[in-house]
Copies of this chain bind each other. A is one copy, B any other.
Amino acid sequence: MQSLVFTLSPGLELCKVIERMAPEGGVFTLCDSNTASLVYPLMTQDCPYLNNNTLIVTPAGDENKTLAHLSHIWEELQRLGATRHSLLINMGGGMVTDMGGFAAATFKRGMRCVNVPTTLLGAVDASIGGKTGINFGELKNEIGVFAEAESVIISPIYFNTLRKEEFLSGYAEMLKHGLLQSSESIHSLLAKDATRLDNQEMLELLRNNISVKQKIVEQDPTERGLRKALNLGHTFGHAFESWHLKSGSPVPHGYAVAWGLVCALILSHMHLKFDATLLRDVAKYVERNYGAPQLRCSHYNELVDLMRHDKKNVNATHIQFTLLKAPGKPETGHEAKEDDIKITLDLMRDLMHV
């Protein structure tokens, strides 16, 4: 099982983790071009196991999560003399933990690895649960494996360098976890002004919030069943994300997920009697913080088409959703008809004043 460390002193904790792991073949670090200059120098002050001779840097940005850059990481590990007993530390956002996790899982059939997520989205989602990989042939995360980092060091101290949109993008996944946990949990998240939490508050929030994902992943690491619960909001969300991208005005992943959550709750209300008051509260919070997608009826067919081709669909004739009977009560593999999807989009526009 993946060990999670929550801390306000990530450098010192990383140091302790490395000492406990006692890797025989040396310690290597992967950063992107941003974390290499902003985070890594601070970490080396607290953690003497890091040194510049074993730092591997890859260009920042999800568009660089490619086979060419993965191949460069393998080459560097080889050139620097890493062995199957060495440790790779992935220090960065989801792009770094995804690609670095895959590099580690496949180098000499698997070297050890630790994640140090530096974004909120990375901390609550990408760095946890072992989904690793790269984009390939224009498809996201097309090539990869399930392989958990042995340890994840989670700290909010980097988050004040994030742009507001990046931060809110991560908070949307926290809302999803809140909905999957309990009524208390989602109400508590909706009551907060996400962008004004201090580090200590954020740390406690992370500890509780991430445990939701971790418990689900433990029971179903390779997404045969229960783990699909974590797709709540993502069938609609991916469609919004792709639609915006194609129309030339991309939105952050978390914004699309936030809108997708509202749609998933509307469909949950229609099919499973999910509570209407909570649905309205979530919609209000999302509208205030994330705005709403500027949809017209003429866009509906295109959105339905995008959902049909979501890679998590078993086939293209039925579109599958994760819905909620109530907070903490997910139902996976729920099929919806095209008409219900369109009614959902209508209701979303009403609720969010589009």
Q: Which residues of A contact B (CB under 8 A)?
A: 24, 67, 71, 74-75, 78, 83-85, 105-110, 131, 133, 136-137, 139, 141-146, 222, 311, 314-315
Contact = CB atoms under 8 A, between A and B. Distances in A.
A74 B143 contact: yes
Nearest to A84: B311
B222 A106 contact: no
Contacts of A107: 142-143
A216 to B, nearest CB: 16
B108 A311 contact: yes
A139 B108 CA distance: 10
A85 B314 CA distance: 8
A143 B106 CA distance: 5
Which 10 A-B pairs have CB atoms at the shortest separation, nearest pair first? A109-B144, A78-B137, A106-B143, A106-B145, A109-B145, A109-B146, A145-B145, A74-B143, A74-B136, A106-B144
A314 B24 contact: yes
A106 to B, nearest CB: 5
Contact of A145 (B71, B105, B314): B105
A78 B314 contact: no
Give the number of times this chain occurs in the complex, counting copies: 2
A270 B142 CA distance: 53
A112 to B, nearest CB: 12
A107 B137 CA distance: 12
Contacts of A315: 24
A104 to B, nearest CB: 11
A217 to B, nearest CB: 13
A324 to B, nearest CB: 25
A108 B139 CA distance: 10
Contacts of A222: 109-110
B108 A78 contact: no
B110 A146 contact: yes
Given A109-B131, A146-B110, A311-B108, A67 B78 contact: no
13 contacts: A24-B314, A24-B315, A67-B71, A74-B136, A74-B137, A78-B136, A78-B139, A83-B311, A84-B311, A106-B106, A107-B143, A108-B143, A109-B146
Nearest to A103: B143
Nearest to A131: B109
Given A136-B74, A311-B83, A142 B108 contact: yes
A135 to B, nearest CB: 12
Contacts of A110: 145-146, 222
Nearest to A146: B109
Nearest to A133: B109
Contacts of A142: 74, 78, 107-108
A134 to B, nearest CB: 9
Contacts of A141: 109
A133 B107 CA distance: 10
A276 B83 CA distance: 37
Contacts of A106: 106, 133, 143-145
A319 to B, nearest CB: 15
